[in-house]
Amino acid sequence: MKLEEAKKEFILLWGNFGSQWGINKAMAQVHALLLTSDDPLCTDEVMEKLTISRGGANTSLRELTRWNLIYKVTVDGDRREFFSAEKDMWNVAKRITRERKRREIEPLILHLDRLKSIDEQNESTANFVGIVEDIERLVTRMDKFSEMLMKLEENAFFGSLLRMKK
Amino acid sequence: MKLEEAKKEFILLWGNFGSQWGINKAMAQVHALLLTSDDPLCTDEVMEKLTISRGGANTSLRELTRWNLIYKVTVDGDRREFFSAEKDMWNVAKRITRERKRREIEPLILHLDRLKSIDEQNESTANFVGIVEDIERLVTRMDKFSEMLMKLEENAFFGSLLRMKK
DNA sequence: TAAATTTTTCAATATTTTCTGAAAGTTTAA
DNA sequence: TTAAACTTTCAGAAAATATTGAAAAATTTA
Q: pLDDT tens-digit profile of A72-123?
A: 999 998 999 999 999 999 999 999 999 889 888 999 999 999 999 999 999 9
What are B51-70's pLDDT values in tens digits? 999 999 999 999 999 999 99
pLDDT at B156 (0 to 100): 59
User: What is the spatial distance between Cα B26 and Cα B15, in angstroms, rounded to a whole number?
Assistant: 7
CA A12/CA A29 separation, integer angstroms: 7
| B residues 130..149 contacting A (CB < 8 A) | 131-132, 134-135, 137-138, 141-142, 144-145, 148-149
- C-alpha dist (Å) from residue B96 to A134, B22, B89: 16, 8, 10
Query: Reduced to 3 states, what is the DSSP secondary structure of residue B117?
Result: coil
- Name the residue ranges covered by the structural domains of chain A: 3-85, 89-163
> Would the CB atoms of A1 and B119 count as touching at under 8 Å?
yes
pLDDT of residue A149: 81
Phi and psi at residue B117, in whole multiples of 5°? -90, 90
pLDDT of B157 over the 80 cut: no
pLDDT of A165 reads 35
Contacts of A92 (CB under 8 A, 6+ apart): A69, A86
Protein residues contacting strand C, judged by Cβ under 7 Å: A 19, 24-26, 51-56, 59, 79; B 42-43, 54-55, 58-59, 61-62, 78-81
Lowest average pLDDT, out of B5-9, B80-84, B142-146, goes to B142-146
Q: Provide, rounded to the nearest whole percent, the portion of chain A with pLDDT above 90.
A: 73
Judge whether A39 is closer than 8 Å to chain B, CB to CB: no
How big is the CA angle at A7 (ends A150 and B136), to the nearest 5 degrees?
Answer: 30
Query: In this structure, are residues B72 and B83 in contact, taking their beta carbons and an 8 Å threshold?
Result: yes
Residue B85 neighbours by CB under 8 Å, 6+ apart: B31, B34, B35, B37, B69, B70, B71
- Return the amino acid letter for A53: S
* Residues of chain B above pLDDT 90, percent: 74
pLDDT-derived band at A148, boundaries 50, 70, 90? confident
Query: For strand D, which nucleotides have at least one atom less than 7 Å from a protein CB?
Result: 5-11, 17-23, 28-29
Extended beta strands in chain B, E state: 41-42, 70-73, 82-85
Amino acid at B30: V
Length of chain A measured in residues: 166
Among B57, B39, B59, B40, which Cα is nearest to B48's? B57
Flag whether pLDDT at A160 surpasses 90.
no
Work out the end-to-end distance of chain A between its first and last CA atoms, rounded to an integer number of angstroms. 32
Cβ atoms of B6 and A128 within 8 Å: the answer is yes
Evaluate if residue A166 carries a pLDDT over 80.
no
Q: How far is CA A6 from CA A1, A46, A52, A129, B62, in A?
A: 7, 17, 20, 51, 38
Q: pLDDT class for A157, splitting at 50, 70, 90? A: low
DSSP per-residue codes, A13-45: HHHHHHHHTT--HHHHHHHHHHHT-SS-EEHHH
Fold of B3-85: Arc Repressor Mutant, subunit A (1.10.10)
Which strands sit side by side in the sheet containing B82-85, from one edge to the other?
Answer: B41-42, B82-85, B70-73
> Mutate which of B114, B135, B139, B151 to test chain A, going by most A C-beta atoms within 10 A?
B135
A-chain residue closest to B128, CA distance:
A36
HSE toward the beta carbon, residue A136, CA cutoff 13 A: 16
